[in-house]
Structure 1
Amino acid sequence: FHRRIFCVAVWAIWGDRNNRLHNKGSKSAKEIGRFVISYISELDSVAKTSRRSSTTVKEWVKPTDSFIKINFDAAYVRGQNKAAIGVVARNEEGSFLLSCSEVHQWVPSAFGVEAIACRKALQIGVHMQWDRVIIEGDSLSIIKKCKTKIPDKSLVSAFIHDIHQLSVYFKECKFEHTPRSTNGLAHNLASEAMKSSRGVYLVGRAPGVAEIQAEIDKVREPD
């Protein structure tokens, strides 16, 4: 604490000296002292807020207004070019409509498999003939690319093009980013597919490990 006071005080005195040299006025010793105390208090307040924010775990939120929320995620083994995707669709009651996982070979990057997972989420929505969907994943880069209409020129441009083409089949299609903590169900599906080297396609339910995660989500779901 005393070291912080010393450092801030030296910084404040140095700044006051520069102000005097450039004819911008100067502060009295009391004013500098009050500034140092105020500045340290502000730093402490910011630190407390940051700690509270970092420990706040957001939870999966049910869709509203007759939307179907389709979460996607991916797992990737670097060096083997092996990947798996997980997709789960739920309605406004939080009930399972469909769960799916696939194993993919020769995928060049984790970024690429996230795009594949996102495309699969839309393909499922189109196949099931859902009108209003929310496509939700924890890959911020992929979600941003899906939201923009500017032609993509990255290594996943072909997948993003497919996603844009598929999105026009819905009356409404929203892309939303979510933290990993709220995307556990899709993540577990992808991880289990990677471990077992096989995928699943289940209508109206999810595999055992995903069902356990879903029950946890329901307990955490705010009223």
Structure 2
Amino acid sequence: MGQIMDAYTYLHVVVADAFVVEAKACEHVVCFVIDMGFRRVQFEGDSLIVIKKLVSCTMDHLILSPIIIDNKQRLGFFIEATFLHTRRDTNATAYALAWEGRLLWKNATG
């Protein structure tokens, strides 16, 4: 139906790279959708690397591989799960949340 079901931001303190952050964000979303009990879902995201890794049958030794493996195991819960890449500039909600999280972090750390 194209509705936003939830939105939040959280702080990552020690992060290897941006792809790890994107993979962890995906992990949070997958867990949320499972907790909500949805069985047919379409995930949208602006990280093409993470989406490609989630739909790929091959494994590599990237630093985000353990997160991808965990996410793939969780995807077994769904009857149907599809992934759609969205351009970053069209994902205004995610950008706004990221910016809000950054401001909260800056205010908390002085």
Question: TM-score normalised by the shorter chain: which range applies?
Answer: 0.7 to 0.9
Tell me, yes or no, if the aligned pair for 1:134 and 1:175 is still in contact at 8 Å. yes
1:103 maps to which residue? 11
Contact 1:152 1:160 survives alignment (8 Å) = no
Match of 1:138 among 43, 46, 53: 46
The CA deviation at 1:152 is 3.2
In our comparison, the structure showing a higher alpha carbon Rg is: 1
Deviation digits for residues 48-68 of structure 1 (CA, Å, limit 9, x no counterpart):
xxxxxxxxxxxxxxxxxxxxx
**Match 1:155 to one of 63, 67, 84:** 63
The equivalent residue for 2:92 is: 184
- Match for residue 165 of structure 1? 73
**Amino acid of the residue matched to residue 72 of structure 2?**
H
Percent sequence identity is 36
Runs of 4+ in 1 over 4 A off after TM superposition: none
What's the offset of the Cα at 1:97?
Answer: 2.0
TM-score after normalising by structure 2: 0.87
CA deviations over 1:87-126 (Å, ceiling 9, x no partner): xxxxx1x444211221111011111101111111111111
Give 1:178 deviation, angstroms: 0.9
- Larger fraction in strand: 1
Q: Which runs of 5+ in 2 are unaligned?
A: 106-110
- Post-superposition offset of 1:158: 0.7
| Higher RCO (CA-CA < 8 Å; seq separation 6+) | 2
Partner of 2:102: 194
Match of 2:24 in 1: 116
Which residues of structure 1 form unaligned runs of 5+?
1-91, 198-223
Q: Deviations over 1:62-86 (max 9, x none)?
A: xxxxxxxxxxxxxxxxxxxxxxxxx
